Amino acid sequence: MLRKLLLLVAVLGCALLAVAQTPIPDTPAGHTLAAWLDAFNSGDRAKIDAYIKTYDPKSTLDFFTSFRSQTGGFDLLSIESSEPLLIKFRVKEKGSPTVGVGSIQLNSAEPHTVDDFVLRAIPPGATVENIKLDATLRQSVIDGIAASLKEFYVYAETAQKMGDALRVHQKAGDYDAITDGDAFAVLLTTQLQDVSHDKHLRVNYSPYKLPANQNGPTPDEEAQYHKQMERDNCGFRKVEILPGNIGYLKFDMFADASFCGPTVVAAMNFLAHVDAIIFDLRENGGGDPKMVALVLSYLFDQPTHVNDLYNRKDDATTQYWTLPFVPGIRLGSAPAFVLIAKRTFSGAEEFTYDLKNLKRATIVGETTGGGAHPVSGHPVGDHFMIGVPYARAINPISKTDWEGTGVEPDVPVKASEALETAEKLAAEKIQAQPKKPAAKPSAP
């Protein structure tokens, strides 16, 4: 009797679990969501890699596995809306109470692959609104974009061309059938980049209302950012000493130096006595120029001019130099190597470009993404924001930047082979260096 009762409880538990599970629509977008959740939650690198090759070839294995380690995976809470090539959903991090809303947009060509994948954490107190765009809202977004570009974009003539292009598309009726915010943002981004070829320029849609214009983040937003940086270890993934006393440092962003500076100091002090150092930026998407200058400071014994940023609206240039003092020991004479890939972007490209022009490091890997313009965000309505590139980099040696071209490696290899190649090169350089004299024994 007891066995039957236990069996009944188990069956009822399975039935309740099945009811609780959120059904995923039988559509191409639904199949992609199901495949992503299955691969992502497994944590298995081979399974994630298979998903990427089949559904999302623009992404990378290291990015997915890093994101997986931060979140612990996701539980699907609900399907917000569903179309054959577009699905919106709500998930919760397995490792925290954080809830996010996501959107997967597939391209129309078969086999369908991911055209745009967005996943946003819902801020505390925010309410998700599944709005439908109408002509009035589309008009206000277009007007706001044109005005922000005209005022802030780094090249005034290009800003005018982009605004004119949106008007042409609007007049032709290209937006009339679009009611989805994400789809509208993706299309606008594509059309603006078709004119500017500026990969930093992007229109974003938010399913919750964006805060009204304010001077900087609120204390709550600042605290939330700091909490996220702590959980993410400021983007630093690995620091170790490889065989042959070669230092290895992998980090995937140049985070806010005022908060994440101690993380840099800790990492560089761990590597203070290596004979060569490898910086792995293959997954690094950029960030704060001040953080770039801080990390560079450990590679130069004297203050060195590394970069300038010219702001078109203010007609002003800001210089960036390495710091005259850093906590710990500098590696001013140690051979340095930087690993790069197609995904390496923005501030990570500046770090690489600065070292290359100063002939301070050997660059190994693939040509980078080609984004040299820093960005500021500007709301264009309650639910849309445009990231406007407002300045351009001017290298003090080349007098130009890497916008649109990327940074070319000194040693071109596949990104997957860059670390092994750099290790061999570092070992050769260490071997070629003059031997340090052996320390004399102390007198008895």
Domain ranges of the chain: 20-121, 228-371+406-432
Tokens read off for 441: 């024994």
Q: Rounded CA gap, 210 and 372, in Å?
A: 27
Q: Rounded CA gap, 185 and 44, in Å?
A: 33
Tokens read off for 254: 């140049």
Residue 5 confidence class, pLDDT cut points 50, 70, 90: very low
β-pairing, 362-365 vs 375-379, is unpaired
**How many percent of the chain have pLDDT more than 70?**
92
First to last CA, the chain: 85
The gap from C-alpha 50 to its chain's centroid, in whole angstroms, comes to 22
pLDDT of res. 221: 74
**How many percent of the chain have pLDDT more than 90?**
76
Contact of 241 with 271, CB cutoff 8 Å = yes
State the average pLDDT over residues 66-82: 89
Whether residue 3 has pLDDT greater than 90: no
The gap from C-alpha 104 to its chain's centroid, in whole angstroms, comes to 18
pLDDT of res. 311: 96
Which DSSP helix (H) or strand (E) runs through 310? strand 305-311
Residue 409 phi/psi, 5° resolution?
-75, 155
pLDDT single digits (tens) 385-403: 999 999 999 999 999 999 9
Contact of 33 with 42, CB cutoff 8 Å = no
Whether residue 347 has pLDDT greater than 80: yes
Residue 444 confidence class, pLDDT cut points 50, 70, 90: very low
Contact of 244 with 303, CB cutoff 8 Å = no
pLDDT of res. 21: 73
Strands (E) in 94-150, as ranges, are: 99-106, 114-121
Whether residue 238 has pLDDT greater than 80: yes
Cα separations in angstroms, 428 against 33, 109, 207, 275, 413: 47, 48, 53, 11, 18
Residue 421: helix, strand or coil by DSSP? helix
Query: Looking at 3-17, 211-225, 356-370, which range is the least confident one?
Result: 3-17
Q: Rounded CA gap, 152 and 390, in Å?
A: 5
- Please, what is the average pLDDT of the chain? 90
Indicate the angle between helix axes 289-297 and 257-270, nearest 10 degrees.
Answer: 20
Residue 157 confidence class, pLDDT cut points 50, 70, 90: very high
Q: Going by CATH, does the domain composed of 20-121 fall within 1.25.40.10?
A: no
| Fold entry, domain 228-371+406-432 | 2-enoyl-CoA Hydratase; Chain A, domain 1 (3.90.226)
Tokens read off for 118: 């967005």
Contact of 351 with 393, CB cutoff 8 Å = no
- The edge-to-edge listing of strands for the beta sheet with 114-121 is 74-83, 86-93, 99-106, 114-121
Q: What is the pTM of this model?
A: 0.84
- The edge-to-edge listing of strands for the beta sheet with 375-379 is 202-205, 384-389, 375-379
For 293-330, letters b (16+ CB in 10 Å) and e give: bbbbbbbbeeebebbbbbbbeeeeeeebebeeebeeeb
Contact of 204 with 148, CB cutoff 8 Å = no
Contact of 340 with 364, CB cutoff 8 Å = yes
pLDDT of res. 436: 61
129 or 77, which is more confident: 77
pLDDT single digits (tens) 355-386: 999 999 999 999 999 999 999 999 998 999 99
